[in-house]
Structure 1
Amino acid sequence: MDRKFLTIMRNEPVTHDTRFMELAGDCREITKPGQFLNIRLDGCFLRRPISIYDWTEDRVSILYKVVGKGTRQMADMHPGENLDVLLPLGNGFRTDLHGRKPVLIGGGIGMPPMYGVAKALRRDFPDLPVQVILGFNTAEDILPTEAFRKLDIEPVITTADGSAGMKGFVTDALEQTEQDYVFACGPEPMLRAVWPLAEDGQFSFEERMGCGFGACMGCSCRTKYGTKRICKDGPVLMREEIIW
């Protein structure tokens, strides 16, 4: 983990409440999908943790939902401005563990890490049959999926109201999908519903964080193997260690 000052290259809306931001700078320390940035914003006591969507050695991109003071401030920023960022944080997904028929599941803004997992699996295991299920509330909430198609993956889309794709939740699609390993990121109710349907897998949890790197213990959770910190020991936990 290191502190960087990254320059905004792009900051564009992709849905009615979600934006895409690309940052330029030294990003060589990012190594795994599922890691995140912690962004300092003027007037905000705590940094804002945002999942990494994609990265290279000198670029990192994020998708973020505008929901409060910090993300509204981010939405008003322009190319050329700098951000004070801690990166990379979190343990990320282990893509060397993937089963024979992995399914990647993203709920809402939990979709960005799933693209990182898909990209890593395609690169390292090109013959692996990767499937992706993405869940949203309505059609207007659907995040761009063209990046998956460039990997030759056609995501299954679900919407709670049936306004696009399959009506229902990601679990409805998962029950109709042959799989032996799940990568999942999204709100806790979604993860809790996916867990009993998964034979094995990894789950990325969202949590309010104080420091973002394990010092404050504010995001601690109980697991079968003792107390872990979502920011440092997570956000990715193995299926077998999760206690609901």
Structure 2
Amino acid sequence: MKKFILDLIVKENVRVNKQYVLLILTADEALPPMLPGQFVEVKVENSPNTFLRRPISINYVDYKKNELWLLVQIVGDGTLKMSELKENDSVNLILPLGNTFTLPEKKDSKILLVGGGVGTAPLLYLGAYLKENGYPCSFLLGGRSKDNLLQLCDFESIGEVLATTEDGSFGEKGFVTQHSVLNKIKFDAIYTCGPTPMMKAVAEYAKRTNTFCEVSLENTMACGIGACLCCVTDTTEGHVCVCTEGPVFNIEKLKW
């Protein structure tokens, strides 16, 4: 898939909560094709401590409005600078990078998208893409509390939303792999992204129930083109760069 280096314009900067902002970007020209699971590398200006671009999952693409959404978690100087971007500011990106999810063969497949924290970001676009292509899906979102469940209204506009919170403030109390739906429905495909322990637990459930499962890894991806080797992971085919061979992997290929 062709890659582009583009200067996009900040259309809106939405403060989701203390830790997250949603950057809605646009351009004068039509945005290039992008697929669920892919990511962008953002150049951070005016940050002396940020030497390399920052990898951010593609949260959503609205081609009618010519918008690219990036959900940014503030964890350091680079993402802090990104969170301070204002309307009409210019942002330089390399996009789209990485691979995409594998769609089920049957349109009537029971599909579950499982996410936690900022890992829910790529699942919003995946869910919208599935719906657009005639695949109904459900979401299972997890967080420490209701405040940690991001973009609930956006997910609810696409499909059924199930949730767990560790404190029981929303949905069922516990972790996503403890949700009762997993004992009631045999899913045909599961796609997940979030903290590694959560993804490993989901992968174990998928293996135990013989369910097709793909995970989107969140390894540190400093360059996005396989040059820096920061994001290497161990697979059945050897050590590979997540930024070029992933970030989406079938769990059967990961040495978990």
Pairing 1:95-110 to 2, within 5 Å after superposition: 95-96=103-104, 100-110=109-119
Distance across 2 between alignment mates of 1:154 and 1:80: 35
Supply the AA of the counterpart residue of 1:2: F
Q: Counterpart of 1:192 in 2: which secondary structure?
A: helix
1:227 positional shift: 2.4
1:172 alignment partner in structure 2? 178
Matched, 1:233 2:233: no
1:63 alignment partner in structure 2? 71
2:234 alignment partner in structure 1? 222
1:9 positional shift: 0.6
1:122–1:129 distance in 2 versus 1, CA, 3 Å: closer
2:60 alignment partner in structure 1? 54
Distance across 2 between alignment mates of 1:158 and 1:8: 33
1:7 alignment partner in structure 2? 9
How does the TM-score come out when normalised to structure 2?
0.88
Matched, 1:192 2:186: no
Distance across 2 between alignment mates of 1:22 and 1:177: 38
Pairing 1:65-84 to 2, within 5 Å after superposition: 65-84=73-92
Distance across 1 between alignment mates of 2:227 and 2:218: 18
* Aligned residue pairs, count: 241
Matched, 1:115 2:124: yes
Superposed CA deviations along residues 191-217 of structure 1, whole A, max 9, x for unmatched, are 111101112111000011221121222
Q: Counterpart of 2:203 in 1: which secondary structure?
A: helix
Which of these residues, 84, 87, 90, is aligned with residue 95 of structure 2? 87
Distance across 2 between alignment mates of 1:70 and 1:166: 35
1:190 positional shift: 0.6
Pairing 1:144-155 to 2, within 5 Å after superposition: 144-151=151-158, 153-155=159-161
Between 1:224-233 and 1:187-196, the stretch displaced more is 224-233
1:134 alignment partner in structure 2? 141
Supply the AA of the counterpart residue of 2:132: R
1:167 positional shift: 0.7
CA contact (8 A) 1:115 1:148 kept: yes
Distance across 1 between alignment mates of 2:133 and 2:127: 10
Which of these residues, 25, 29, 44, is aligned with residue 41 of structure 1? 44
Distance across 2 between alignment mates of 1:208 and 1:189: 16
**Which segments of 5 or more consecutive residues in structure 2 lack a partner in the other structure?**
none
Q: Counterpart of 1:232 in 2: which secondary structure?
A: helix
CA contact (8 A) 1:30 1:87 kept: no
Supply the AA of the counterpart residue of 1:117: L
CA contact (8 A) 2:163 2:170 kept: yes
Q: Counterpart of 1:161 in 2: which secondary structure?
A: coil
How does the TM-score come out when normalised to structure 1?
0.92
1:154 positional shift: 2.4
1:181 positional shift: 1.2
**Which segments of 5 or more consecutive residues in structure 1 lack a partner in the other structure?**
none
CA contact (8 A) 2:55 2:224 kept: yes
Superposed CA deviations along residues 46-69 of structure 1, whole A, max 9, x for unmatched, are 211111111134320111111111
1:129 positional shift: 4.1
CA contact (8 A) 1:95 1:120 kept: no
CA contact (8 A) 1:27 1:60 kept: no
Identity rate, percent: 33
